[in-house]
A and B are shown apart, each in its own frame.
Chain A
Amino acid sequence: MNRFVIADWEKCIGCNTCMAGCVDVHERAGLAAYPRLHVTRLENATMPLQCRNCDDAPCEKVCPVRAITFEDRSVQLNESVCIGCKLCALVCPFGAITPHGTKPRGEESLAYGHVLRVGPPMPQGEESPLYGTYPLMLPEPDLRPDAVHPLLQWLIGERTVAVKCDLCHWRPQGPECVRVCPTDALRLVDEDNVTELIEKRRVQTFHDHPAGG
C-alpha cells in the first residue's frame, strides 16, 4: 500500500513550521529548496496539503520522461530527470505538485557557491539588490542523494522542475514535517495504521449496527 503524510486540521495552528522544516531538510540534501507541502488557509480551517502518493498516480502516468516513478510504496520524482513540462501538476487531483524555478538566491550557484546571498523580494519579480550574505551550509557529501545529477546542481534555478513530497525517503527518522510540527498535526499513514484503523472501525460497526444495517 502507498504511504503518505496527512494533516489534522483540528490540530493545525498554521504556524508554517512544517514548510520551514521541509525547505531546510531538502536544501541540506541538495534538492530544490522549496516547500513540498503548503499550509492552506480557508476562512474556517487551516492545514498543510501535500502529496497523497496515490497507488495509481496520474502524475506517474503522464510524465513523458519517467521522472516520476512508484518506488518504496511512494511516488518519487527525480528532479534531475524532470523536464519541467508541468503535466503532472495539471493532472494532480490534490494540487500537490508545484512547478518551481529554483532561482539562485545569490551570485553563485546554490549548490556549489560558498556564499548565499538573500535580498528582499521585489514587486514584479525583479532581482533585488542584495543586502545580506550568509555562509551556505553544504550538505555532507554522503548526504547528497545519488538521484541528484550534477547537471541539475549546475542548472538549479535556471529552469523549472516539478517539486513534490518525497517523504524525506533518505532519512531514517522519516518526514521532517511530522517531526517538527509543534502540535502533532501531521502523521505518516502506512499500511499498518490503516489496517489498524479499518479493523477498529469494523468492530465499531459491529457494535453500532449488529444487524449489519
Chain B
Amino acid sequence: MPDAKTVCPYCGTGCSMRLITKGNQIVEVEADRESPVNEGNLCLKGYFGFHHVASPARLTTPMMRREDGRFAPAGWDAALDVVARKLADIKRESGPDAIVIFSTARSTNEENYVTQKFARAVLGTNNVDHCARLCHAPTTSGLEMTLGAGAMTNTIGELSRHSDVIFICGSNTAECHPIVASHVIKAKARGAKLIVADPRKNEMVKHADLWLGVPIGHDIPLLNAMMHVIIKEGLHKADFIREHTDGFDDLARAVANYPPERVSQMTGIPAEDLVKAGRWYANAGAASTLYAMGVTQFTCGTGNVVSIANLAVITGQIGRPGAGVCPLRGQNNIQGAGDLGAVPNEFPGCYKVTDDAARARFEKAWNSPLSSKIGLRLTEVPAAILDGKVRAVICDGENPMLTDPSTRHFARAVEKLDLLMVTDIFLSETARRAHVVLPACGWGGRKGTFINTERRVQRVRAAVRARGETKAAWWIFRSLSERLGFDGMRYRSPEDVWNEVRTVVPEQWGGVSYARLDKEPGVCHPCPTEDHPGTPILHVGGRFATPSGRAQLKPVLFDPVEVPESERKAFASPIVGHIAERPDADYPFIFTTGRVAAHYHTGNMTRRSPVLEQIAPEALFELNPEDARDLGLRDGEYIRVTTRRGSVVSKAWVTGRVSPKLVFGTFHYWETPANELTNSENLDPYCFIPEFKISAARVVKITPAEAQASVEAQRRYFRQDVEAAAIIAENAYLQSHGDAA
C-alpha cells in the first residue's frame, strides 16, 4: 500500500505523521512538517512505536474459550452468533442494564459512536463508559460546571506563539506530552515565564522560572492562595467578572481564608512564592494553565479542576490567543470518545441522557426508544458484577486488568461474569479471561478520525492491509446489531458513520467532512457548516458555554483531613476536598503513579518496539536519598512497596526528584503492576474517578532473588497462556488461509 498520512496512536497531542511502508509493513515514521500541532517533530513513541502493528502475536482470528479453559479459534459467524445469543438471553432475563460496554479512547470517533449507539439503541442501556473515567473525568465535570464545556479551551500552537506565562499544574508534560513540552520550550525561548507546581522535580521543573513544590493532593489550597493574593492586590479583572460571571462573592469569601502564610504552613511552599505565582499569572498578557493527572486523579479532582477554572476566569485569562485552560488529554482519541457519547450520562455532543428534549432528538435520529437512567460508570462496574447486577461485559480494546485501580478486586469480579467479550489487537491480560476474544483492526490498518486534546478532528488513514481476519469495532457492532434485529446500522465504511454523526449533531461536526479533512490540517470543533472555520478558541469575549452564557465561579475548600463544619456551612454548595488515604504509622510512605516517555500505559504496544523496550526496559520506582539511607538501599537495588490493596516489586532509582517519604512508580510493566497498589474505593463524588495518585504505602528493601521470585509470580498471574493462545490463533489462521498472512 502507498505511504499514508495519519495521526500518532499514543497521547492526546495528536501529532500528524507519515507512515513509510515496504510491502505490507511499516518501516519508518516521518513527522509532518505541515502540522500546526507538531510542526515537523515527534517524540520517541511517535518515531519508534510502530513495531506492534507487524507483531506475530497480533490476534488475527476470533477465538472462544473451550470447556478446559483454553482458547480455540472460531469463525466470525460462530463467535458473533454466540455473543448475540447470550446478549439477547441476558437482556431478556435480567434487563438491558445487566450488560455493560467499555468503549475505548484508543479507537476512532466512528467506532465510539457506533459502540455507544449499540448500547443505547440496540441494547437499551446507558451502561457505556471508557477510560476517561480514570483520567480526565474531573475535567468534564469541573469545566462543564464552571465554563460550560469540558475541553481544552485553546490550541497547542498558541503556547509557543502567544502565552507570556505558562502555569503547569500537575502535568509531567515532558514525559507524557513531549511535543506540548516542545511548545513550552519555544515559548521560553521567546521570553515567556514558566511556573510549575508539582510534588516531584520532574523535567519541566528544571525549566521553571518558579517551582511550587506542592505536596501531593494539595492543589486547592495552592490555587486558593494564588487567588487570595490576586483579589487582595486587586489584580482580578472586575469588569470581566461583573459582565461575564456569577458567584464571585462566594469565591472571594472562600479564598479569603487561604492567605499565603496559612497555605505555606499547610504545604511548605514559601509564602513569597505563592505571592509571586499569583502576580505573574494575573499580570501576564496571556497566561495558560496546563494540567493533567496530577490534578484529576484525586477524590477532589473536580474541585482541583474547578479551582483552575476559577483562577483563569477571575483574571480574564481565557478566551484569547494563548490565554486559557488546557487539560492535556492522555490518549489519542479520549476527547473524541467522550464527545461522541461513550459515557454513561451523555449522548454524542455532550447532551444529557436525563434531558427529555435531547433524548427525543436521539430517539428520532436512531429510531429507537432510549433509557433516561444514567448508566454505570466504569469504576462502579466491579461492585455491580459482584452484586449480581451486571452479567455481561463487552470490552473494546481496554485492558482493565492492568489499568483499573486495585486490579485483584477487578479480577475477582470478572470471574463471575456470564459473558466477557474482549476485542483487542493482542491477547491482553483482560482478553485472557474472556469467553470470546475478537481480533481488532488496530492503528496502522484502521480508518476514521481522532479528536486530539485541542478538539482538532484529524483523519486516521491505513498504511497496511488489515491483518488476518481483523475487523474494526464499527463492523463488529453493526454485525451484532443485525443479529439482534436492529436495522439502523447499515454502515459500509467509517465515512458512512461519520456522515451520520454530522447529521445527528451538526452543531458540533456538521462542517467537518472527510473531503475537508483531506485538504486541511484538521478542524477544531465546534464547526457547524462547511464554510465555518472551526473553533480553535472557546469562550471568546467572555461568552461561556454554560446555559446562562456566564462562567459559574464556585468556592472550593480543602483540608487534608476534613474541612471544618463551620467553614463549610458558610457557603450554599461548596466543593470540598480532602485526602482519602493519608500516611500513618503502618503505612508511612505515599505512593504515586505516572508514566515515562518511552512507554504507553500497559505496554501492549510500546513494549513490542525493541527500541522503546531498550530505552525503558523495567520499572524504576523513584525514592528519596534520605529514605534510601534509612532502608540501607543503594541506587538500582530492589524494593517492595505494599499498600492496603497489594504489593509489588521494583528496582529503585534513588533520586532527589521525589521528596522524602514519597515513592513514584509507573504502571507500564506487568512485572511491576503498580495498580495493584492503588485505591479503587474512594471516588470523587462528582465524576467517580478513584484516587490513583495517593496510596499510603510501606517500603522495604529486598534481595535480587526475592525480586526475581516476584517477577515469576507476576508472570504466572498475568502472562501464562498468553503466548500459547496467540500461537494457537496464529496457527489456526495459517491453516485456514495458507501462508498468505
User: Contact at B618–A15, with CB atoms within 8 Å?
Assistant: no
A11 within 8 A of B: yes
User: Contact at B704–A16, with CB atoms within 8 Å?
Assistant: no
CB of B729 to closest CB in A, whole Å: 14
Name which of A19-27, A48-56, A65-73, A80-88 contacts chain B: A19-27
A1-38 contact mask (Cβ, 8 Å, vs B): 1 or 0: 00000000111011111011101100100000101000
A178-190 contact mask (Cβ, 8 Å, vs B): 1 or 0: 0010110100000
CB of B100 to closest CB in A, whole Å: 30
* Chain A residues within 8 Å of B186, by CB: 183
- Which of A17, A24, A43, A134 contacts B55, CB < 8 Å? A134
A120 within 8 A of B: yes
CB of B520 to closest CB in A, whole Å: 23
User: Contact at A45–B206, with CB atoms within 8 Å?
Assistant: yes
Name which of B37-45, B375-383, B451-459, B489-497 contacts chain A: B37-45
- Please report the C-alpha to C-alpha distance between residue A180 and residue B47 in the assembled complex, in whole angstroms: 8
- Which of B55, B182, B188, B615 contacts A182, CB < 8 Å? B182
User: Contact at B27–A17, with CB atoms within 8 Å?
Assistant: no
CB of A74 to closest CB in B, whole Å: 24
A130-142 contact mask (Cβ, 8 Å, vs B): 1 or 0: 0111110100000
Task: Indicate whether A133 sits within 8 Å of B56 (C-beta atoms), given known contacts A13-B181, A17-B43, A182-B43.
Answer: yes
User: Contact at A135–B207, with CB atoms within 8 Å?
Assistant: no
A211 within 8 A of B: no
Task: Indicate whether A23 sits within 8 Å of B182 (C-beta atoms), given known contacts A43-B201, A120-B617.
Answer: no
> Can you name the residue of chain A whose Cβ is closest to the Cβ of B603?
A120
Name which of B82-90, B171-179, B327-335, B402-410 contacts chain A: B171-179
A151 within 8 A of B: no
Task: Indicate whether A133 sits within 8 Å of B612 (C-beta atoms), given known contacts A15-B44, A120-B671.
Answer: no
Chain A positions within 8 Å of B, measured between CB atoms, are: 9-11, 13-17, 19-21, 23-24, 27, 33, 35, 41, 43-46, 105, 116, 118, 120-124, 126, 129, 131-135, 137, 180, 182-183, 185
Task: Indicate whether A14 sits within 8 Å of B203 (C-beta atoms), given known contacts A182-B43, A183-B181.
Answer: yes
User: Contact at B614–A23, with CB atoms within 8 Å?
Assistant: yes
User: Contact at B711–A123, with CB atoms within 8 Å?
Assistant: yes
* Chain A residues within 8 Å of B482, by CB: none
CB of B708 to closest CB in A, whole Å: 5
B643-658 contact mask (Cβ, 8 Å, vs A): 1 or 0: 0000000010001110
B182-240 with Cβ < 8 A to chain A: 182, 185-186, 188-189, 201, 203-204, 206-207
User: Contact at A13–B178, with CB atoms within 8 Å?
Assistant: yes
> Can you name the residue of chain A whose Cβ is closest to the Cβ of B726?
A132
Please name the 9 residue pairs, one residue from A and one from B, whose CB atoms are nearest each other, closest first: A13-B174, A182-B41, A20-B44, A17-B44, A15-B178, A14-B203, A123-B707, A15-B597, A121-B617
Q: Given A11-B189, A14-B203, A182-B178, list of 10 further CB < 8 A pairs?
A: A15-B181, A20-B598, A23-B611, A27-B611, A46-B203, A122-B708, A123-B707, A132-B607, A183-B185, A185-B185
* Chain B residues within 8 Å of A183, by CB: 41, 181-182, 185-186
User: Contact at A20–B615, with CB atoms within 8 Å?
Assistant: yes
Task: Indicate whether A16 sits within 8 Å of B615 (C-beta atoms), given known contacts A45-B206, A133-B56, A133-B57.
Answer: yes
B697-725 contact mask (Cβ, 8 Å, vs A): 1 or 0: 00000001101100100010001001100
* Chain B residues within 8 Å of A134, by CB: 51, 54-56, 608, 610
CB of A173 to closest CB in B, whole Å: 12
B48 within 8 A of A: yes
* Chain B residues within 8 Å of A129, by CB: 715
Task: Indicate whether A118 sits within 8 Å of B610 (C-beta atoms), given known contacts A15-B175, A16-B598, A17-B178.
Answer: yes
B613 within 8 A of A: yes
Task: Indicate whether A15 sits within 8 Å of B174 (C-beta atoms), given known contacts A43-B657, A123-B708, A137-B27.
Answer: yes
B607-640 contact mask (Cβ, 8 Å, vs A): 1 or 0: 1101111111110000000000000000000100
Task: Indicate whether A21 sits within 8 Å of B203 (C-beta atoms), given known contacts A13-B182, A182-B42, A183-B185.
Answer: no
> Can you name the residue of chain A whose Cβ is closest to the Cβ of B708?
A123
B372 within 8 A of A: no
- Which of B47, B179, B185 contacts A20, CB < 8 Å? B47
User: Contact at B618–A121, with CB atoms within 8 Å?
Assistant: yes
- Please report the C-alpha to C-alpha distance between residue A16 and residue B711 in the assembled complex, in whole angstroms: 26
- Please report the C-alpha to C-alpha distance between residue A122 and residue B709 in the assembled complex, in whole angstroms: 10
B368 within 8 A of A: no
* Chain A residues within 8 Å of B371, by CB: none
- Please report the C-alpha to C-alpha distance between residue A118 and residue B25 in the assembled complex, in whole angstroms: 19
* Chain A residues within 8 Å of B616, by CB: 16
Q: List 12 A-B contacts (CB under 8 A).
A: A15-B175, A20-B44, A20-B47, A27-B610, A33-B610, A43-B655, A43-B656, A124-B705, A124-B708, A134-B610, A135-B56, A182-B42
- Please report the C-alpha to C-alpha distance between residue A24 and residue B615 in the assembled complex, in whole angstroms: 11
User: Contact at A24–B48, with CB atoms within 8 Å?
Assistant: yes
* Chain A residues within 8 Å of B711, by CB: 120, 122-123
* Chain A residues within 8 Å of B42, by CB: 17, 180, 182
Q: Which of A14, A15, A116 is most buried by chain B, counting CB atoms within 10 A of its CB?
A: A15
B664-711 with Cβ < 8 A to chain A: 669, 671, 704-705, 707-708, 711
User: Contact at B615–A13, with CB atoms within 8 Å?
Assistant: no
User: Contact at B41–A132, with CB atoms within 8 Å?
Assistant: no
> Can you name the residue of chain B whose Cβ is closest to the Cβ of A23?
B611
* Chain B residues within 8 Å of A182, by CB: 38, 41-43, 178-179, 181-182
* Chain B residues within 8 Å of A19, by CB: 44, 615
- Please report the C-alpha to C-alpha distance between residue A135 and residue B707 in the assembled complex, in whole angstroms: 31
CB of A67 to closest CB in B, whole Å: 24
Task: Indicate whether A13 sits within 8 Å of B185 (C-beta atoms), given known contacts A134-B51, A134-B55.
Answer: yes
- Please report the C-alpha to C-alpha distance between residue A129 and residue B722 in the assembled complex, in whole angstroms: 13
- Which of B43, B57, B175, B204 contacts A132, CB < 8 Å? B57
* Chain A residues within 8 Å of B55, by CB: 132-134
> Can you name the residue of chain A whose Cβ is closest to the Cβ of B27?
A137
User: Contact at A123–B704, with CB atoms within 8 Å?
Assistant: yes
- Please report the C-alpha to C-alpha distance between residue A50 and residue B204 in the assembled complex, in whole angstroms: 22
B50-80 with Cβ < 8 A to chain A: 51, 54-57
User: Contact at A10–B207, with CB atoms within 8 Å?
Assistant: yes
* Chain A residues within 8 Å of B188, by CB: 10
User: Contact at B617–A13, with CB atoms within 8 Å?
Assistant: no
> Can you name the residue of chain B whose Cβ is closest to the Cβ of A135?
B54
- Which of A23, A46, A116, A118 contacts B615, CB < 8 Å? A23
* Chain B residues within 8 Å of A21, by CB: 44, 47-48
CB of B33 to closest CB in A, whole Å: 12
* Chain B residues within 8 Å of A118, by CB: 608, 610, 613
